[in-house]
A and B are shown apart, each in its own frame.
Chain A
């Protein structure tokens, strides 16, 4: 290591620590055993005077590593904060030793001593991180010139950032441009509102900080946040090469293909149309299927959830179709005051104060709403459409005769092509700029961003093809750092939600630029300045790191050597966990650091009946969960040694091998839940750790050890009360298997 480490150890005996463990003996571990030059015991280490004392020592003794043996690292992080060149390590003596184990007990004392040894080993094998800095471009690229895209572009530009806005059509506006009016978006939620799209377009087009490219496709995006290299393909010939800081994808949704709704008469009867077709009839008089001009409508029926909430079509609810039909019912009332309007719904979904608009429409004359299931639609003898409805509120079955049936079709994200792709009609024909379709493949979804990332061309999608966030608390969580989806491409949503979403995504886009300039990570390790370094001379091109990174950080050269893009990295350490050659490390988190912590733990002889269990706990959920258990004074077996890790996915199997060959009797890995409702903050970390258990079992076989000796457990943070039982039963299980034969070798 470049600079010699000089460590100071400060032990707190307050909060019950001193009553539980012998701090003088801990002092010996530091001073005698580890030759620590400065070690002090204090009854109140977080007091102003004590912190001042540490600060003075740092200066006078030129300490560059400080070990605080006191409460958990989750508390008082602002108190034990020193010069950034000093690496601070917290030894959790209060929660995870004193509060959770038998006081003045030999095993409790051994636990405390081991934790101190581990901390000393840790600080001797890591360095304070230095920020990764490169030149960061501060232009925001917004892909998609519909309502959300235009709103995001204006929001970013008005916050002082340069914006490039691309739109594949020859005009801005998207779906909102095809609307006649919109349902009320503000109090008192009674009257229809103009779309305001012309005003929005003119603000965008005249803004000095926004550059608009129409008839434009994104041909290629390479590079990394702060330094994306973007190739645009404009009209039939022009190309534009740009450097971009961050990206908002607002490519919107498409209506569900009504061709699939023949059961509701679409494609069979001319007068069965979709809500978007009805909208266009009111917006422009020259649309293809005009049913309102020159005709007299006496009766019209709206069928809700046409293709939505239906496992044969779209299993989800498209969120805005109820409001659309209620709005359109008013159009009909205005143009044909004598017409009867029927709305057949399953549930009217007008949340929040939209309810007030629903009540207003409900109270209109000649508008009839009923819950019911449409059984079939036929042509009656009088030429009208006859709709059979079952399970209604008006008695069992009813029949309605109408001139026109409107299907309230749902939405499909623009990222999805293939099987349930929308049949795009009239204005939004997919323009094929160079004569061929914008490269589309049914299996992988639409290619919109055309990222050159090794892991694929676009944002990974969730169920139903939307590139939404999986996290309730973090709706802008993205698996492609610096690229944020907004609007109905992300999830079905209405205008109000799209507007809020546009602002949210724009904030994340400019925040990314700010953070990258400071050389810091974004969520969830916000502010972290460490980053992975690759010792590529020893790389064997196994590609595990490039495949397993959840954020697509690593590209590859032709031989398969990883090409890191640090600005894409989220510092989870999954690459470090994946690498069999152990060539990936962070300044403050490395193979060597954890290995030396493991090696520092004393392993008692077999005849002492003191098994040693190593537990890797995810620092995001499992480790805090253990702290909560300790705060609740839940006691557990003192033979367990806990090491917090950035993510279970960052656990390298070499640590497990090291521990087993040193004589640890068993190893626990506790991380976040995986599967459909995964809770891992790095998407796949705990799942990958579980997959790697195959290799671990192989390793155990080689060592002729029982497979039960290594166990992976998933835990939610609120399941803290389970931890003592997990630890205790594992220790017992290891006792019954017998001691690790490698002990003492």
Chain B
């Protein structure tokens, strides 16, 4: 960030959203500049420099630009403004609040209109925590303000290097984000006034923490299939690839409602505007079960839908991860949901094509993999300077062309993430929700269920599935009764545990405690032998058992109805003369 303020250049070429600029003086890579067209200035970013010509990607439509148009370089990289008031906002990829843009420009997103990311008028109740004489570093805080239910820490800006001495701190009281709330001085005595907000370049990771820790704590999503079988850890990463219509967005939408984290950041990157509208309409009405406040108060939406300019689509994922890191620095657990990373990769591909770079596989640029890994590496569980812990968890959807997971974006993503939730067309066509295919998905994290137990159930899934595919060839008649029972058990496990009704409030929100409880019952039921004489009997027995479990899923955990439901299952179990197998017995006893 060298300060070459008011450095200017002239347009010498236009190709799509890429503009070539002849400049004098110094220009830095990824520097932000503005192209002047008529009365508007269009925000752009330097993406290549050759001699005295810089190539810039314009974050807006480029019609009307002509050779000779002035370009003003700012000397800064693309930054996000960090400070109190981010929660509950709806931003575009460049952190302009969309409702404010609507006030200024009406129905359409007219180009060249930029607004402040944070409300400069609002007063925040500041409580100082540092006192004159304290020695502070970047990432440590000098005071706090309340933001909704959170304690929002006011930091020494992340970009300051070395130690600083606090000279003065403002008294407790109401201040706007641009008022000075503290003055600090470096070792030479140069004084720096601090305000409640500062800017940070979005493409650089925030590293003001003491150490990075291994992600071991499970992040509950309340989706049984995920928490029990393919869990995600706080500070971990996961991806959801799937063909269109398989329910990627719906799954992320439910996760954003029920996930056990403090803050959720939704990056709607190159997807449908209608889905954002749904979130916007629904979230303010929903209540966060943890705080009892509106869900919107813990959510930030960064929305760059498919018809908005591609270059800012690329910026939007970085803006969102920067906001996530900022709240992590306060000792909070943040979940970033990026939908969809393929659209971001496509934005990279479009620019790469215009730069006439040598294309890699499917014309994606050769640096695709390193960009994807660098993005996911910004997730993490960290110990902060004050000893508290915070995390950023990243979940990205991938939209592979033709639903084929062999394409570059899916493959590059699979290399770096800790969990893979692959959605299958087959399961979504059968209206199974979530459509995560248990046979291809995996996770490296530890879940809420003991691994031996999930291994036992996973085994039933695999075995039952093999029998199922064999039955398609030899028919029901050619299958032995014991095999047929394994097949029925697999079907039942799928129907009562893997599938979940996202419309039912109780079923959609299945806590870890409940999952542990239900799984023990399932192991008992599925790990037992029954006195069943033929296939008809077996089928009707398991159908009834299945119905009992499904009804049980709809009852509130540990309520009277829940107890009654369990008793029903036990009765059904006795009807079938169930005798628990040794393996299941050992699992249920030892795994408590």
Chains A and B are bound partners: no
Q: Which residues of B contact A (CB under 8 A)?
A: none
